[in-house]
Amino acid sequence: MAWLNYHHLFYFWTVVRTGSVGAACKELHLAQPTISGQLRQLEKSLGGQLLTRTGRRLMPTKLGQLVYSYADEIFSLGKRLLDAVDGRVDGHSAPLTVGISDIIPKLVAYRFLRPALELKEPVQLVCYEDSPDKLLLQLSAHELDLVLTDAPVNIGDVRVRVYNHSLGSSAVMCFATRDLAKQYRRGFPNSLDGAPFLLPTANAALRRILEHWFEKRKIHPKVIGEFQDSSLLAAFGQGGSGLFAAPAAIAKEVRKHYQVETVGTFDSIRHEFFAISAERKIKHAAVAALTEEARETLFAGTSE
């Protein structure tokens, strides 16, 4: 079995990052022959050239780019390990790295994560927002502690080993400015037929839920716009462009933050939320506390 020399890999990673052997020598306080010799040994062990000179800079070859991408993950993860250990033993805030699906309402993410700042063991929140597919890849590489999304992962459809943890579900409510709410509240939900409506984009679970609900009841709202960002959608709703839907779990915050009113509650609709982890049983203390808090508080009694 071949073993990778991580000292050699670290020198290569530093050369690519700084752009030259000379710059790497200054950063690492090593002589140039030392680094050059160990780079040659790394190339020999990996069976190919890793660097090529372009002008005054050393640039990675195609093989070098591949090696550098893995090295960057390895040493970034190593730094996270040291930060976590330092936080645990010295009483500093340990990092809690969360991936938030770009289709999750920001107020839901905030309500879910807020208790992390009140835990007995302090944590430092690090939040990333991206598409679920990209976040799952980061989760599988242990770059994230969990992913917050509104749809479970179909385990058979992904190549990474991850696990779904249901956080609970919420009723869904319709919101609008005062004038629009007054106009469409009477006769709700039939009043939504032909009403101006703002929808999430097609990749959002809430979009599919609403479309099925409208189709079942033969209600055809006039779609004014589609938005991937829930905050932008709500901002247009605040401006009076149309009605919009949001989880009842954050109804109070939606009304206050966007200065809108409730039009009505969509009967029989539940919007589910999930925490996705790389472990079957959640062991991270902060993650376990957040999921439990969400089940007991955020998504409890949201029928309104």
DSSP 145-205: SEEEESS---GGG-SS--EEEEEEEEEEEEEE-HHHHHHHHTTTTGGGTT-EEEEE-TTSH
Please count the structural domains in the chain.
3
Indicate whether 264 and 175 sit together in one domain: yes
Taking residues 227-238, what's their average pLDDT?
94
**What integer pLDDT is reported at residue 301 of this predicted model?**
58
What's the pLDDT score for residue 1? Answer: 41
Least-confidence region, from 1-5, 112-116, 197-201: 1-5
75-120 pLDDT, tens digit per residue, is 877 876 776 666 554 455 677 889 999 888 999 999 999 888 887 7
- Asked whether residue 303 is domain-assigned, the answer is no
Q: Are residues 152 and 292 in the same domain?
A: yes
Cα(145)–Cα(123) distance, integer angstroms: 12
Decide if 236 is inside a domain: yes
Q: Is residue 140 located within the same domain as residue 60? A: no
pTM above 0.75, yes or no: no
Residues contacting 294, CB < 8 A, separation 6+: 112, 167, 168, 273, 275
- Domain hosting 104: range is 81-168+273-298
The answer to whether residue 132 is domain-embedded is yes
* pLDDT tens, residue by residue, 29-68: 889 999 999 999 999 999 899 998 887 778 889 998 899 8
Q: Which pLDDT score is estimated for 114? A: 87
Per-residue pLDDT tens digits for 251-285: 999 999 999 999 999 999 999 999 998 877 777 77
Would the pLDDT of 303 be above 60?
Answer: no
As a whole number, mean pLDDT of residues 181-197 equals 96
Q: For the segment 164-186, what is each residue's pLDDT rounded down to a tens digit?
A: 888 999 999 999 999 999 999 99
Is 223 domain-assigned? yes
* Average pLDDT of every residue of the chain: 87
Q: Which of 26-30, 83-87, 151-155 has the highest mean pLDDT?
A: 26-30
Together in a domain, 220 and 264:
yes
pLDDT for residue 226 = 96
Q: Which of 18, 46, 77 is the last residue of a domain?
A: 77
Which are the contacts of 236, defined by CB distance < 8 A and separation ≥ 6?
198, 224, 225, 227, 242, 244
Residues 185 and 261 in one domain: yes
Q: Read off the CATH number of the domain in which 60 is found.
A: 1.10.10.10
The pLDDT, as a whole number, for residue 89 is 46
- 155 lies in the same domain as 181: no
Distance between CA atoms of residues 153 and 23, nearest Å: 45
CB contact set of 116 (below 8 Å; sequence gap of 6+): 96, 123, 125, 286, 289, 290
Residues 190 and 145 in one domain: no
Query: Is residue 304 domain-resident?
Result: no
Q: Above pLDDT 90, what percent of the chain?
A: 45
- Which of 163-167, 224-228, 278-282, 298-302 is least confident? 298-302
What CATH code is carried by the domain that includes residue 121?
Answer: 3.40.190.10
